[in-house]
Amino acid sequence: MSHINEAFKNGKALIAFLTVGVPSLEDTVKYVLEMEKAGVNLIELGVPFSDPIADGPVIMEADVKALANHVHLPQVMEVVKEIRKHSNIPLVLLTYYNPVFSYPADKFFRDAEKIGIDGIIVPDMPHEEQMEIRPLADEHGVDIIQMVAPTSEARIRENVKNATGFVYVVSSMGVTGMRGDIKTDLKDIVKVVRDTTDTPIAIGFGIHTPEQAHNMAVLADGVITGSGVVDIINKEGSNASADLTAYLTGLRKGMDE
């Protein structure tokens, strides 16, 4: 059974993303544990992929580095096993469908349950196509996280009517990356989601300042930061601990104000 609900049970959830294998598998484990200590409630582990269509240049750079380190889905699963020796923090894999299909899918979901993966985000798999894997996910207690972009009300309702884990509301059209301003009418999107499901809502894409984190926490149940984390790790490699902790504790403070 998924433990994602635990991330939201004591207030607003801070969710952080990092790409597995940058600068090394060992550093990924270290950073996950440090991020938890800094106030992160749920970790998204990025599975390196050669054609990450939803990602901007920061995360694409990390994917290139991780792939050069020969990190693929099997290595990510090993990282999860290592994390689980030290922490029960909810873990969600963000992966494109090809690695899961190649694993293959039935084995992936069996292994995911066994090692403690709570959820999966598949950006290139629309809601309509998820029935291919939903029975496997349900059987093994792995939540498929629904991503909701600024689109029609009917489309949003259709996407989230059977949502589990949390709903990932995309703050802006386009790819991931740090943004100075978030101008999407998120209030209306969040209202439609809340009218359709009781599943917690987290907002991501572009959030990297305490002020942005505060504003998003007012609207939603959780705040997702990705490119800000990955940018620090890309630049500082194995020496990112201090800046990573400062960055995340800043976001946490912004959310709690």
Catalytically annotated residues: 44, 55
Enumerate long-range contacts of 64-70, CB under 8 Å, 24 or more apart: 65/19, 65/21, 65/22, 65/23, 65/234, 66/19, 66/20, 66/21, 66/22, 69/21, 69/22, 69/23, 69/24, 69/25
Question: Cis link prior to 104 (omega < 30° from 0)?
Answer: yes
Region for residue 14 given its phi and psi (left: phi exceeds 0; alpha: psi -120 to 50; beta: otherwise): beta
- As a whole number of Å, the end-to-end CA separation of the chain is 33
